[in-house]
Structure 1
Amino acid sequence: MENLVFNYFIPTKILFGPGSLNRLKDETLPGKKALIVISAGTSMKKYGYLDRLTAILKEKSIDYVVFDKILPNPIKKHVMEGAQLARQEGCDFVIGLGGGSSIDSAKSIALMAKNDGDYWDYIVGGSGKGKFPSGGALPIVAITTTAGTGTEADPWTVITNEETNEKIGYGNQYTFPTLSVVDPELMLSVPPHLTAYQGFDAFFHAVEGFIAKIATPISDMFALKSVELIAKYLPICVKDGNNLEARTYVALANTLAGFVESTSSCTSEHSMEHALSAFYPDLPHGAGLIMLSEAYHTFFASKVPQRYIQLAKAMGVDVDSLPEDERPFAFVKAMKKLQEECGVGNLKMSDYGIKEDEIEKLADNAIKTMGGLFEVDPYKLSFEETVEIMKKAYR
């Protein structure tokens, strides 16, 4: 029986499509002084995206301050620094410009600009204290330059506590962006390997949200469409990054996967990856998910075969022509083929320094820090099964 009792709450206005950054000129922004959050990398400046944004703000007589320290796996220290700067400068809203790490950081900074204490006081899971942020958050504007996290369409933000090696997702009604801009023209500059990693992050948001036991008819609709679009258009983006039509469809798949995150949930595959990149922050999140995916989804395809048959169909597989016992695993085959087409079929954990004898520690971290996602799995994994999946993924 489907979940026919559910809540639907996505309060974000989204400007979608090529040229949408220019449409920001016609929007009423939620404040008079912005903290613009960007990464420590060079791309926002090099490609002129920051200049385009600040020109629009100047035209609208909105002041701004730039905070440019965010790492690919963002850390708590920078959230606290950014929040202090926002308070000090009297910023009344936050703009995240860039990929998931910049927008996630913007959400967490917006929260801490309005609440006392340490960011980890509010985190649920691990050593977080689970306090409710009674101060709410500053309004958030998200301008995404990647198609990967869907963070422009969901409340979630993922930050690592670098002191404790805990990488934990967090979100509530305050951390939805007020306004999001999804302009695929800003994604044309993303290099092929990152396009693939990010595309697979969106893919797994959709897939996990589809198998999660809290999936609803609404999240299913978004998830299956997202999977279909990524299967069709991601290889084109990887081979020809300037193909605006393909970039737009992958951007759409990513935003749909964000809707999945708002209406369903990731599962323990994400918990396992967070453990990997908490200890090895140079590991791109999408790459970690790809490494886990074959072992993880082979395991779960045997537990909820019907769901995986639907996913295989969404990827364009003629499932009905296959023997019945092979049908659920057709998804895993199609996923592996897609990874190969995107040039990410042979990623190994050892490439990032992860050692096999650490797997029990990493599995323990996954369960202790992001145990909530294990609760929405369609089958309850034991610690031993978690270790076994991670070991299979390692080999």
Structure 2
Amino acid sequence: MSASGFSPEHPESVFTYASPALKFGSGARHELAHELGARGCRRVLFVTDAGVRATGEVDALAEQAAAAGIGVVVFDGTRVEPTDTSLSEAVAFARAEGPFDAVAAVGGGSSIDTAKAVNLLLTNDGELMDYVNAPVGQGRAPANALLPLIALPTTTGTGSESTAICVLDVTALRVKTGISHARLRPTLAIVDPELTVSQPAGVTAASGMDVLCHALESYTARPYTSYERKRPSDRVPYCGSNPIADAWSERAMGLLAGAFRQAVRQGDDRAAREQMALAATFAGLGFGNAGVHIPHANAYPIAGMVGPFAPDGYPADPHADHGLVPHGMAVSLTAPAAFRFTFEASPERHVKAARLLDPDAVGDDPRELLPGVVSRLMRDVGVPSGLAELGFGAADVDDLVEGSLRQQRLLATAPREVRAEDLATILTQSVELW
């Protein structure tokens, strides 16, 4: 081993952990102006979508900032499930309206991810595809530091306020991919459960399944010690399951067990909404460091290749050339089969996760325990019963496998080697779940 401690022949012995500063609680959104002022910001870009802006919350926050002497420009053109085109349009708007001292995202994961892309390209040269993960894009790392980014999530799901990842559809390739770099992580997350009360049941169900899969995938990810030792400069945000990420994931699962069904069925239950907001935050703090794997890799081609599917609770997109599958829904649909496949890598973790989500879960075959718990939860909150409900069938499996295999950054985090035939089995088993 060299004097620096690096040797590729030795297993990794170091894991990394990073997170944004966090402010959590009912009414926390009203402290945005204070946080901007404390950072010396005089001109700020707000990134949101038309639906969130229509609630009046964004303009109220802009007025509070103006009262504190801070100028605000609002971009409300975020698209649900952003595309390379929609992100490039947001970047063009921001470059034309700048300069800015900071960026604030108010909305779901789509708005927060759009803000990340805008922040990246306000501070670094080049175009969007230069930074998109290889092999879809060039995988270029940002050379310059980004502006402060403050994220105010309005959905309890994506965890984007905690992560260093921006997700997008590349429309020409009909594939969903991302940009991943530590500099994309928000500076501060302001999580106010009051912003989620108006979230429709369908959105609560889909985004909640994203929380669930974040927690489960990071908890079952390959351990950080299974990687070859890396130089400090080569470490990536996803480092594998580790004791700190595990603690966040376990806590998120416990909160989901008590609150998820109630938040879907009774959206104005403030206690359930607060628990879901905590669960989303905790899961984001976990997977934003450990990583996610097979269900997320499969979700990208599912969302990118879907036909005319319209989910409950989501507005129609007049600019879309295909249907919309919310990210959390796409992730969840192959989760039961994926966890059946990963079981042998860590049986005790899969069983423990099932017990955290459902302490009363029983079954003769421990391999089926977690898939059964996840499937029942999906059914209870109204998620589709399989890929067939989205219009996919056995004839689509090969194309879906090809799309999943492009997500090697995610598949590399799986606790078992994932071959094309393994993905084909998982996707086939997911056509009809019940």
Question: Conserved in 2, the CA contact under 8 Å of 1:348 and 1:394?
Answer: yes
Q: 1:208-219 counterparts in 2 under 5 A?
A: 208-213=217-222, 214-219=240-245
Question: Conserved in 2, the CA contact under 8 Å of 1:229 and 1:250?
Answer: yes
Bigger shift: residues 355-364 or 373-382: 355-364
Runs of 4+ in 1 over 6 A off after TM superposition: none
Question: Conserved in 2, the CA contact under 8 Å of 1:231 and 1:338?
Answer: no
User: Are residue 34 (structure 1) and residue 54 (structure 2) matched?
Assistant: no
How many correspondences in the alignment?
386
Provide Cα deviations, 1:107-126, integer angstroms capped at 9, x if missing partner.
01100112222211112223
Partner of 1:366: 404
2:382 to 328, 343, 355: 343
Distance 1:104 1:304, change over 3 A: same
Question: Conserved in 2, the CA contact under 8 Å of 1:219 and 1:259?
Answer: yes
Partner of 1:314: 356
Provide Cα deviations, 1:247-288, integer angstroms capped at 9, x if missing partner.
011100100111012220001210110111122351111111
> What's the CA shift for 1:202?
0.7
Q: How far apart, CA to CA, are the structure 1 residues paired with 2:392 and 2:145?
A: 38
Provide Cα deviations, 1:336-389, integer angstroms capped at 9, x if missing partner.
222222222x43323333343222112111112x11111111110110110111
Q: How far apart, CA to CA, are the structure 2 residues paired with 1:357 and 1:23?
A: 52
User: Are residue 120 (structure 1) and residue 120 (structure 2) matched?
Assistant: no
Partner of 1:285: 327
Question: Conserved in 2, the CA contact under 8 Å of 1:3 and 1:216?
Answer: no
Q: How far apart, CA to CA, are the structure 2 residues paired with 1:91 and 1:336?
A: 46
User: Are residue 352 (structure 1) and residue 361 (structure 2) matched?
Assistant: no
SS of the residue corresponding to residue 141 of structure 1 reads strand
Amino acid at match of 2:138: K
Q: How far apart, CA to CA, are the structure 1 residues paired with 2:272 and 2:12?
A: 33
SS of the residue corresponding to residue 76 of structure 2 reads strand
Q: How far apart, CA to CA, are the structure 2 residues paired with 1:364 and 1:322?
A: 34
Amino acid at match of 1:94: V
Q: How far apart, CA to CA, are the structure 1 residues paired with 2:181 and 2:136?
A: 19
Question: Conserved in 2, the CA contact under 8 Å of 1:3 and 1:217?
Answer: no
SS of the residue corresponding to residue 113 of structure 2 reads helix
Question: Conserved in 2, the CA contact under 8 Å of 1:115 and 1:135?
Answer: yes
User: Are residue 238 (structure 1) and residue 275 (structure 2) matched?
Assistant: no
| Structure 2: runs of 5 or more not aligned | 1-10, 223-239, 307-322
Question: Conserved in 2, the CA contact under 8 Å of 1:189 and 1:241?
Answer: yes
| Structure 1: runs of 5 or more not aligned | none
Percent identity between matched residues is 28
> What's the CA shift for 1:328?
4.1
Provide Cα deviations, 1:119-152, integer angstroms capped at 9, x if missing partner.
1111222321122211232221111000001111
Partner of 2:182: 173
Question: Conserved in 2, the CA contact under 8 Å of 1:32 and 1:62?
Answer: yes
User: Are residue 17 (structure 1) and residue 25 (structure 2) matched?
Assistant: yes
Q: How far apart, CA to CA, are the structure 2 residues paired with 1:74 and 1:264?
A: 24
Q: 1:189-200 counterparts in 2 under 5 A?
A: 189-200=198-209
Amino acid at match of 2:70: I
> What's the CA shift for 1:38?
1.3
2:254 to 228, 247, 260: 228
Amino acid at match of 1:351: E
User: Are residue 83 (structure 1) and residue 91 (structure 2) matched?
Assistant: yes
Amino acid at match of 1:13: A
Provide Cα deviations, 1:51-79, integer angstroms capped at 9, x if missing partner.
22112211121112222222211011222
RMSD: 1.9
User: Are residue 382 (structure 1) and residue 419 (structure 2) matched?
Assistant: yes
Amino acid at match of 1:106: A
TM, length-normalised to structure 1: 0.92
